[in-house]
Amino acid sequence: MHELSIAMSIVDIATEYAAKDNSDKVNEIEIEVGSLSGVVIEALDFAMEAAVKNSICENSKWIILEIPAKAKCDHNGKEYELDNLYAKCPHCGKYGHELIQGKELRVKSLMVD
């Protein structure tokens, strides 16, 4: 399961960060997931429950934020949201864009004691 290994690396990042901060408790983890990252938020949420067990994050709260994918049209430079990489520009109807956001998968912030 893809999401479980992601959840475990998130817990690793949090654990490392807390250690650097001389903390033994992580209160909150904020995670950003792009809508085209291939990560299923419900699955990640479920995987986090397993990953935090017996870790420094055991009692922490996590928030998963979905970042909508956005692209910039190659033809008219307008930005638009898209739900797949093969979407065409809603302004000019042409294909071809530069993806601006939507593939993120990162720990945005951590709160430790």
Residues 70, 102: contact at Cβ < 8 Å?
yes
Q: How far is the CB of 69 from Zn ion (least distance, A)?
A: 16
Nearer to Zn ion by C-beta: 25 or 91? 91
Nearer to Zn ion by C-beta: 83 or 113? 83
Q: How far is the CB of 74 from Zn ion (least distance, A)?
A: 7
Sheet order of strands, 61-67 included: 61-67, 26-34, 105-112
Instruction: Point out which residues bind Zn ion (CB under 5 A).
Output: 73, 75-76, 89, 91-92
Nearer to Zn ion by C-beta: 56 or 89? 89
- Residue indicated by tokens 């996590």: 62
Spatial neighbors of 40 by CB under 8 A, at least 6 apart, are 3
Q: How far is the CB of 77 from Zn ion (least distance, A)?
A: 8
